[in-house]
Structure 1
């Protein structure tokens, strides 16, 4: 199972990223657990300095921006193939 974490304090862009990730996971029919990290000290420990961020299987894949749906699909497809 793929583990996806969306990091952000709850701002509009963080919510947008979380919604996009959930959409892509559902559309791809992936076996993935999507969770949220909102605690600032926990976010910093991941290495993300600018939110929103996305961590897939323990690796920071996005930091400081909301990727497009196509970019999220590409990231998750690449990660699933590994």
Structure 2
């Protein structure tokens, strides 16, 4: 599983990244978690609002800081 936390490094982006890392750890699943902060890369991914979460190439909840229980729901699907 490939997970990207997309944002320019703001406080909300850092919070989403932390929530993702903790959720993956709690669920004991194997995932590559990447933090994408480069503006050019963000544009290439087609993301228009941050923070955003991308799981296996699919954009999930753009512009929101998901709570761990919300992240868990997406990872279980």
Q: TM-score scaled by structure 2? A: 0.95
In the alignment, what sits opposite 1:50?
A: 49
Runs of 4+ in 1 over 4 A off after TM superposition: none
Shift of 1:62: 2.2
Q: Deviations over 1:31-58 (max 9, x none)?
A: 1010111111211221210100111011
CA shift digits 1:4-45 (9 cap, x unpaired): 000011000000000000000000001101011111121122
Unaligned residue ranges in structure 1 (runs of 5+): none
C-alpha RMSD over aligned residues: 0.8
**Partner SS state of residue 50, structure 2:** coil
1:1-80 to 2 correspondence within 5 Å?
2-78=1-77
Distance 1:56 1:62 in 2: 11
Provide TM-score, normalisation by structure 1. Answer: 0.89
When the two structures are aligned, how many residues end up with a matched partner?
A: 77
Give ranges in structure 2 of 5+ residues lacking alignment: none
* Distance (whole Å) between structure 1 residues aligned to residue 46 and residue 76 of structure 2: 23
